[in-house]
Copies of this chain bind each other. A is one copy, B any other.
Amino acid sequence: MKIIDISWPISAGMTSYKDRFKVAVQAIKEFKVDGVRESCVTLNAHSGTHVDAPSHFISDGMTIETLALEKLMGTCLVLDCTAAESSITQSDLVGYDSVINKNDIVLLKTANSDRSSEDLFNPDFVYLAHSGALYLRQKGVKAVGIDYLGIERAQPDHATHLELMNADIPIIEGLRLATVTPGRYHFICLPLHIVGMEAAPARAILIQND
């Protein structure tokens, strides 16, 4: 069994969505002074690898702690979408029609993974177009992940998010897939159990059986 960590490293220098939020790490106790290290961290709920709950965009949507963790664990398919230049549409995905199974967790590997984890935010990141989200919903996938800090852009109606959220399909953003060969894995993603939040930072891994 091999574990592949696909989490975005959290640091003060990490890329943040639209460069709007700096993660802060603060030392409370230092080893030289106190003989112990203790620190605290301030995170946006959407910093690095995180899971969006429906309440992010839906007025009465459920919050992150109520999300069934079964939806974030299971058979996973990493799709090679590195040729997509702007967005991933239905026509970019239909070529995979025979390999996407019902209840797969689908992770979209794009050119976004080529950027470092500390680059400035790229407003032209590759995103999942509404037609792609609709297609994945119709395929009956269990969850959808992408390798950037958003899964949509330039969609004032949040059509991609809402297509998935209204079908109770969790959205995992901020994955790091540069070193991952497209194919099948076992996926586990555990977001922090934060009461009432619209999203939560998470650790995500792939497991590859020998």
Contact = CB atoms under 8 A, between A and B. Distances in A.
A188 B187 CA distance: 12
A193 B7 contact: yes
B194 A41 contact: yes
A195 to B, nearest CB: 4
B10 A198 contact: no
Nearest to A156: B35
A43 interface: yes
Contacts of A198: 37-39
Interface stretch (A55-63, A85-93, A121-129): A55-63
Interface of A: 1, 3, 5, 7-11, 21, 25, 28, 31, 35-46, 48-49, 55-57, 59, 65, 69-70, 73, 158, 188-199, 201-205
